[in-house]
Structure 1
Amino acid sequence: MNKGYALGGRYEIIRQLGEGGMADVYLAFDRILHRQVAVKLLRLDFRDNPKAKERFDHEATAASGLNNPHIVGVYDVDEVEGMQYLVMEYVDGEDLKQYIHDHSPIDKPTVINIMEQIGSAVEEAHKSGLIHRDLKPQNVLIDKNGYVKITDFGISRAASEDTMTQTRSIIGSIHYLSPEQVKGQMATKQSDIYSLGIILFELLTGKVPFDGETAVSIAMKHSQESIPSVRTIDPTIPQSLENVVLKATAKNPDDRYATVSDFNDDLKTSLSADRSGEAKFVVPSDGDDGETRVMPFAPLKENTALADDKPKSSTKSEETPVEKPQKKRKHRKLKIFIWALLVALLGFLIFAIASSTSNAKVPETNGLVETDAKQKIEDAHLEVGKITFRSSYTIDKGRVIASDPDAGKKVDRNSKVNLVVSSGIKKIRIENYVGQQYKKVARHLKNEGVTVVRRNSPSSTFAAGKILQQDIAAKKRVDPKKTTITFVVSTGIKQIQLKDLTGMTKQQVVNYANEVELNPTFDYEYSDQQKSGRVISTTPKAGVNIQQGSNVAVTISRGKKPVKQKKQEQLRSFNVRITIPFHEDTTNVLNQEQEESSDSAASGSDTQESRKIISQNSSSVPDENVILIYLKDHDHDYSTVYKQMVINKDTTVLLPFKLLDSENGKYKVVRDGQTILRDNNVTYDSH
C-alpha cells in the first residue's frame, strides 16, 4: 500500500507499522475526523480465503463489543475494490515484547502496574464471554506514558463454543500456550490466565520460561516440565510474587486462579510487607504427570537356548595336521594388514595435527556483543583487527554486524579479523518549533525521514502558517524512520461569509466546514419543508460574516413528524453541563532564552518574528488546547466528531442530548489524543 493512498477516500496511508501472517498494519490519517488511526488490511493472498475473512470479521465484532480503556478500539470495518480493512485506534508506542527488550530488567512496581492493566482488559473480555486464546506480549501495546492496550481478537472465541478448531488443532503462539491448548483441547478462561502467568514471567526475567529449536519441543515443555523459578534468575523477586507466577501457570487448569480478578487481587498485594514470609506455592495436583515412561523389555522365555550352552562337537580334536600351517599363514597376513592400517592412521593423524596448527577457522560473531566477539576470535587462535562502527536499524547497538573475513572461512593462525559493530539507530534531536513557520520546519524534518502531520486551528496569537503546538517534546532524540510528529498550525483569524447550507446533507456540510475551517454542530427536528437528512436552517444565517474557526449550529430535518408516538417512547431533550480542564503545555511557551540563543543563527527571521509576537503580548504566551468532543444520542453518531474547539482556560460546555426513554447516550472529550472526560451511561433521569 503506497503512501498517500486514501482508503475509501477517507483514510490516507502514512506508513507501514508492521506485517502479520494474514494482514498488514498501516498508520493512516482520518481526513474527516483529523486524527491518526491504525488500518489493518487483509493481505492480497488471503482475500479469497473464507477462513481468513471470517477471522478478520470476527476480530472487528469481538473488539467492538468490548468497552474497556485497555482494549484497542475498533472504529470502522469496510471493503473497497476487494480490499477488506479494519480501522482501529492508533497507539503511539511499541508492543510489550519490544518494551521488555528495551527496558529489562523492569522494576517490580512497574511490572505489576503493566500486568494489572492487561488483566483489566482480559477480565472485561471474560465478563463478555470472550476468551482471547492468543495472549502474548506482541498483542499488548504500550504507549510512551506506560498506558497499556491489548489487541488482536482474531482467534478469540465465546466461552460456550466447542468447535473442531478448538478441540483438534493448536491455535495461538507456542511460547504462551497453556498445556491444554498444546494438547488440542478446548481453551477456557484458565487458558488465558496461564498466558498471563507466562507474560508475568517474561516481564520479571526478560525471557520466556521455555524455548527450543522447534515448536514441538517447546510445546512438550509446556505440557510436561515445571515452570522455572523466577527467583533463581533474580533473587530479589519476593516469594509472594513468584507464587503468583506459579499458581497462574499450574499444569492443571483447576489449580490456577478461578478468575482474572483473583489473579489481579493476588498480584496487587504481592509486594506487601505483610507477605514477606510467605511460603512457596505448591501445586496440589498437576493434571497429567507428563513423565516419560520407558517400556520394559520382554523377558526371555525359559526354553530359549543361549549360544554358550550349545554342545561342543567331539570331532574338533580330531582335525588333520595339514590345517595348522594354514592357520599360521592366515595369522601372519592379518598382522601385516593391521600394521599397515596403523601406519596409515598415524600418517593421517600427523597430517591433521600439522594442518590444525597452521590453519584456523573464522568463528561466527554476527549478533554477538563486541566483548564476546573478541573473545571468540581469540579462542579460535586469531587476532582482533580493525573495529569500525556503522548505524543499523536491525542490529542492536554494540553488537557485531559483520566480520572480515566472513565466518567459516579458513585462514592462517594469528590472522587478523576485522569487525563492523552497530552504533545503533541514527537518531535526531527534536527542537522547540512553536512559533516557527510550518513549511520550513516540515521540509527540514521530512528530509530527515520524519513523518509530519498537520492539523489546522485558528489563533489570535500567531499569524497564519505558524506552529501552535507539537506533540513531541523539545530536546527529545528520536528514530526518524519510526517517528510521526503532529503540528497544530495557526490559520490566523479570517473573516468568512457563511454560505447558504439549506438543503445540503450532513456530509456536504462537513466537507464545506473542513474546506473553510469552521466547526459545525448539529441539531435535529421534524420538518414538512425539507426531506429527512437535509439542512433546515443555520445559526448564524447565510450571508453573515463570521471568523474562521467559529461554531455554526446546523439544524437537520428528521422528516415529517409521525402522526402517533407511543407515550412510553417519548423523545426527551436535555442538556449535560461539563467543565473541560485546561492543560498548560510548557512546550508551547517560547520563553527558553538559553536554548533559543544557541539556535538563533539557524532559526532566521521566523524565530525573530515569533519572539516579537511573544514580547508584544506578554512575558509568556498562553497555551491553547485543541479539544474534540464525541456525542451519541438519538441523532448523533459516536464515531464522528460532534464539536471541535480551542480553549486556553477551564471551559464549561453544554452538551445537548435527545433520547428516547429506552435509549442511553454517552460522550467523551479528547485532548491531544487522550480521553480526559467520559460518560457511557447518559439518561434523561440521571440528569
Structure 2
Amino acid sequence: MNHIVLAGRYELLDKIGEGGMAEVYRAVDLVLKRNVAVKLLKQQFVGDQEFITNFGNEAQSAASLNHPNVVNIFDVGKEEIDERTLYYIVMEYIDGRTLKSVIEDEAPMDDERTVRLAAQIAQALKAAHANHIIHRDIKPQNILINEDDEVKVTDFGIAKISTSSTITYTSSILGTVHYISPEQAKGKFIDEKSDLYSLGVVMYELATGNVPFDGENAVAIAISHIQHELIPPKDLNPSLSEGLNHIIVKALEKETATRYQSADEMLRDLREYKTLEIKETEAPADQTTVIPVIKDTPEPDQQDEPQPPSPPRSIYQRTANQPPIAEERPDFFRRVVLPVLLTLFLVGGGFLVIRGILASSENTPATESRSVEIPTLLGKTLPEAQVLAEANGFVIEISEEVYSQEYSEGEILEQSVNPGQSIQRGETVLVKVSLGQELTTVPDLLNLSLADAEARLRTDNLEMGEHRTGYSDTYNEGTVMRQNPEYGERVPVGTAVSVTVSQGRQVEEISMPDLRTNSQLQAIRTLQDLNLRVGQVDSEHSDTYANNTVMRQSVAPGTVVDPQTTIDLVVSLGPAPTEPPATEPPQTEPEQTEPVSDVEYVIPIHPPAQEEGATSYQVHIVRVDGENEEDIRNEPYNYADGTQTIRIMDKPGLSFELYINGNFVRTITH
C-alpha cells in the first residue's frame, strides 16, 4: 500500500503476512517512533458484519491478555481512505518467523527444544483459558518465534463463519484441518481441551517433522482425526524420550476425558518429562499393530490397460487379533475395512454408505453401480455433509444461504434431492445453508411513550416485552426510562424488549403532626424537620391554651401533605386581661436594692429572598430567660423598607431568637 497512514500515526510499509480474512503489514508508529504490525481485514469482508465482529473479537480477546507469550494489542479502529473502509488492529511487531517455517527448516527437534517451545505455547493458552478465551486455531502458522527462541501466540479471531460473502468458507477452515481436534472435526462443542489437542499436534510435528494425520484431502484428514489410531511419535523419532512421547500421545487422545484437562496439567508434565513416571500395563490381547498399505488390483479385463499411480494413503492402525489380510484378496480394504471405518464417523447415512460401496465392487450392471442413494443432510454442518458426499459419491453445492429460526448457523436446512432418492454417481445435490437467526439492532426507546416505543419495535421486527414502572428525576412521566436489551445490541428478529416507564419524580408523603399545645418555637422546629414551611403566625387570647403555645394550625393533624407545604399557625396569648378592683395599695417602705442597669440588644433584620407576588415577610422574636421563653414580637415587615434594626433595652444575661418566615435565623446576646 502506497503511503497509507491510519489514525494519523500508523504508516504502512510492506506486507509481511496474509491469512484467510486479513493481511498483515509492517508499519511504523509515527508518535512513538517504533515498528508495529497492522492487521487489515480483507476488502471482500468489510461488508460482512459477521467477519467484522470476528475481527473485533480478535482485538478484544488478545487485548484482554497481558502475557509475554501472547502478541500485545496496541490499538484497533476503522478508517475511510480512498472510498475504502479499512478495519485494522495494531499489534506488537515480532522480528522473527513463524513456527511453521522453523519446523520446515529444523524439525525433528531434540527433546529440550521441543519442551521449551511447547511450554511457552502452553503458558499462553493457560493465560487465555484463565480469561475464558478458547483460541480454536492453534497451529505453527499462528505462532511466532523471535531470535531468542521466544514464543508469541497470535490470531485470536477464529469463530464460526458462514455468510453470504463466503459460500466456499469450508475449504478455508479445513485448510487448517491438520491441527483440529476430533470434536472440532465433528462440529461439536469445543473447550480448552480442544486447544490442548492442537498443541499436541504441534508438539508431534516439532518432534518428528510430520503431522500425526494426513490424507488426500481435507475430508480424509478430518476422518483420520476422528477414527484413526495415532502412530506414537517415538516410532518416527526413536531418540524421543519416553516421557515426552507419553505427553504428546496423551495430548492427542481422541476422547476429551482422557486428554490433558488443563494447560496447567500439561505444564507440570513438561517440567518433569525427563523423570515422568509412566505406568506400565500388560499389553492387551488386541494390542494395535500397523496395517500395511494395500494396493487395489485391477479387474481382469483391465489388466492390460495402463493405470495411473495410486495416491498415497494415510497410515493407520488395527488391532493384532484381526485376521491377516490375504494376498489373494487385495480389494478387502476397499470392500470391507473402509466402509466399517466410515460407519463410525457418518451419522444417519452409514448404512447407505456401506451398501453403496459394496455394490460398486460386485458384478452388477453398470447402470445400477453408478446409482447412489442420497442420505439425509438436514441439520448437518457442511463439513459433515461433505464427508457423506465423499463417501457416497455425489457432490454438494450451496444454492442459497438463508436465515432460519429452526437451524443453527452453518447447518443444512434444505436439499434438492430428498433422502432415499437415487441419483447418478458424481451428480450434484443443491443445499440451502442456515445463516442462523436473522439479527436486527435494538432501537433507542428512551424518552418515547409506551405506544411510540411499541410502534418502533414493530418497525424493527421486535416485540414489546414486559413493561414496568419506576420513579425518575430525569425522564418525564409516561416515557421509557430503561430498556432491556439496550440500544444498539444485535438480537434475533422477534426478540421481546422489556421497558421501564417513568412515573416522574418520586414525591415523599408527609403526615401532618398535631402541633397544638406545643410552644411556638417547638412547633416551628417540628415543621422545619419535616421539610414543611411556616406560613402566617397569628396570635389570639385563649383561656384554654397557655401563653405562647399553638392553639390552631391550617392543616388538620393526620392529613397527608407534600414536602414544602406552607402551614399557618395561631399562637395563644393566654387569657385576656381583666380590670383589677380599685384598692388602696398598702403603704410599705420601699426595699432598698441596688439598681441594675439595662443593656441594649441590637437585632438586625435583613429581608429574605422575595417570592413572586410577596410584599412582606414575617418577623418573629422570642425572648429567652433561662428556661422561660416569651414571644415579644410577631409581625410583618415590608420588603420596601429594606434592612431594619430593632433595639431592645433589657437586663443582662438574656438571649433573643430571631425567626423570619418561620425559619430560625440567629440568636442575639449582649
TM-score, length-scaled by structure 1: 0.39
Looking at secondary structure, tell me which structure has more helix per residue: 1
TM-score, length-scaled by structure 2: 0.40
Whichever of the two has the greater Rg, that structure is 2
